Structure 1
Amino acid sequence: MATLREIELRLKSVRNIEKITKSMKMIASTKLSKAQKAMQAGKLYGAANAEVFETTKEEPAGSRKLFLVISSDKGLCGGIHSSVTKATRRAITNAPDSPIPGVSVDSDSPVMVVGDKSKAQLSRIYAGNFKLTFNQIGRDVPTFADAAGVADLVMKSNVEFDSVVIVYNKFVSAISYEAAAMEVKGESALKKNESFNKYEMEDDFTKDLFEFSLANALFATLAESHACEQSARRNAMDNASKNASDMIGSLTMQYNRGRQAAITNELVDIITGASAL
């Protein structure tokens, strides 16, 4: 059984942890409001991007897909990273609950990851599929420059693909999120688009349009994933603070009982000694 000194030290430690988690919750709450504003702006880019591919024909069977997983470098935010990791695994294994239902995917599909957390999780299974990884993105509110930088590196990677599937966390509410996927059609699909073929375009038009569309989609998904991360971190720190508060109550009761027992034993010794005299 723990001594009073050990319980007292543990109480002090848990109280310090509670102070830290409450502070982190306040910081995450402040960042969440900024992240939500950026997410609303990013959704406009995503909506405009979707209009480009509305008339694009579906790709033929056997098209090669590049998976771009959106994560981050930071932890202490619940299962936000494992959510996109599991969704990517379901997509590559063609599971029934895949984020891109009805689409067959090759097991050797190339994978690129934004963020060290999902990189560590996926590298244990798909180390041979990794082509590029990115970090230091999303430390603050994502910008279009961040998305454009990632899109530029993807284009320069010389990885062959017909379309890019961006796996990210979709913001549902301040307390919930879900893994989702956004597909950006490649150059070949754009070249076959009847809406574009009506006009005379330069040879590299489809390449530039694809890169710009990829940057748009990345900005929208990065902003939404960042909002989900801040929301999850706030909820995780809130739960941690509540757990610390419950533990403090339990340890305080245990300490008081032990202290009362020690005082009772001392009184018994005094009374016994006085009776002997």
Structure 2
Amino acid sequence: MLARTAVRPALRAATTTSTGPEAVRTMATLREIELRLKSVRNIEKITKSMKMIASTKMVKAQRAMGSAKTYGEANAEIFQNATPNEPLKRKLFVIISSDKGLCGGVHSSLSKLVRRTIADPNSNVDPESPIVVIGDKAKAQLVRNLPNNLVLSINQIGKEVPTFGDATGVADLILQTGAKYDSVTIVYNKFLSAISYEPVMRDVHPESVLTKTDGFRKYDQEEENTSNLSQFTLANAIYSALVEGHAAENSARRNAMDNASKNAGDMISSLQMKYNRGRQAAITNELVDIITGASAL
């Protein structure tokens, strides 16, 4: 009877110590860490899946880019003999971006290049030069800075590998805008390798410039032929830029998802260590309570 009476206060003290505010706080912290671990693991699964998808799309885009480069080479050969006699100040900027994000600074680099070119007084570019944007991402950035320059916005292009039909449709829409310009400048991301790209500009001369150049004056051509050649070269340049920009975008998305997966793995390791330390501290406190209660007996 006396032994039972002596044991009850000790057990009551041990119970009170193990369920105190410190123990409750420790369990709440462990629960929070466990939930964060679960969410970060789910994010890691998503980023790894997106990396695999981007890698597959990048292979297809590189294959298509190899065949599309011939279009750009044909344009370059034509424009070698079509140098304008005077500087062209009013340009129509055609920005090749996409509707998707999660690919690093692919879209922001294009909009920054256009803003710098228009704002630079040494570039001899008219500040009111019209802008055509392909893709919602670059449009959202330019609407805040150059809203009065935007004359056309096109989306739903670039979900799959772009085709020459997409390029001709874009060229027709550009010609139907009625915007006044001296030349067309296509702004896109040039694919350098699987891990790098750079924003570049490519000039495309319209019909008015082709008819005035010395290289084309040597030949007697009908006006309709020159107009068709001008439209065809514009579609060629847009197609080449679309395919190369698509490859650069998927390459950047693959690298971004790879970095995100690595960061998620590092965060999981850090959270797992915190969880293990907290769990070890909770077990140690429980053992101290048990030993203290046993000593009191």
Deviation, 1:108, is: 0.7
Q: In the alignment, residue 154 of structure 1 is paired with which amino acid?
A: I
Give distance in 2, aligned partners of 1:3 and 1:57. 70
Q: Could you say what secondary structure the match of 1:170 adopts?
A: strand
5 Å matches for 1:123-134?
123-134=143-154
Deviation, 1:62, is: 5.2
Find out whether 1:166 has 2:192 as its counterpart: no
Give distance in 2, aligned partners of 1:144 and 1:223. 9
Find out whether 1:194 has 2:194 as its counterpart: no
Give distance in 1, aligned partners of 2:87 and 2:53. 47
Identity over the aligned pairs, expressed in percent? 64
- Residue of structure 1 equivalent to 2:253: 233
Find out whether 1:110 has 2:136 as its counterpart: no
Deviation, 1:138, is: 0.6
Unaligned runs of at least 5 residues, structure 1: 96-101
> In 2, are the aligned partners of 1:78 and 1:232 still within 8 Å (CA)?
yes
TM-score (norm 2): 0.88
Q: 2:164 aligns with which of 127, 141, 144?
A: 144
Q: 1:216 aligns with which of 196, 219, 236?
A: 236
Q: 2:65 aligns with which of 23, 39, 44?
A: 39
Structure (1/2) with the larger helix percentage: 2
Q: Could you say what secondary structure the match of 1:160 adopts?
A: coil
Give distance in 2, aligned partners of 1:264 and 1:179. 58
Find out whether 1:250 has 2:276 as its counterpart: no
CA deviations 1:139-186 (Å, max 9, x no partner) are: 100100000000011111111111100011011111011110000011
> In 1, are the aligned partners of 2:61 and 2:247 still within 8 Å (CA)?
yes
- Residue of structure 2 equivalent to 1:266: 286
CA deviations 1:244-270 (Å, max 9, x no partner) are: 000000000000000000000000000
Give distance in 2, aligned partners of 1:133 and 1:60. 30
Runs of 4 or more consecutive aligned structure 1 residues displaced over 6 Å after TM superposition: none
CA deviations 1:32-59 (Å, max 9, x no partner) are: 0000011111111001011111011225
CA 1:211 to 1:144, structure 2 compared with 1: closer, same or farther past 3 Å?
same
Give distance in 2, aligned partners of 1:51 and 1:62. 20
Matched pairs, number: 271
Q: 1:77 aligns with which of 80, 86, 103?
A: 103
Q: Could you say what secondary structure the match of 2:148 adopts?
A: helix
Give distance in 1, aligned partners of 2:273 and 2:45. 20
TM-score (norm 1): 0.95
Structure number, greater radius of gyration? 2
> In 2, are the aligned partners of 1:73 and 1:117 still within 8 Å (CA)?
yes
Find out whether 1:20 has 2:40 as its counterpart: no
Unaligned runs of at least 5 residues, structure 2: 1-24
> In 2, are the aligned partners of 1:171 and 1:177 still within 8 Å (CA)?
yes
User: CA-atom RMSD, angstroms?
Assistant: 1.3
Q: In the alignment, residue 90 of structure 2 is paired with which amino acid?
A: R
Q: Tell me which moved more, 43-52 or 185-194.
A: 185-194
- Residue of structure 1 equivalent to 2:223: 203
CA deviations 1:112-154 (Å, max 9, x no partner) are: 1000000000110100011000000011001000000000111
- Residue of structure 1 equivalent to 2:18: none
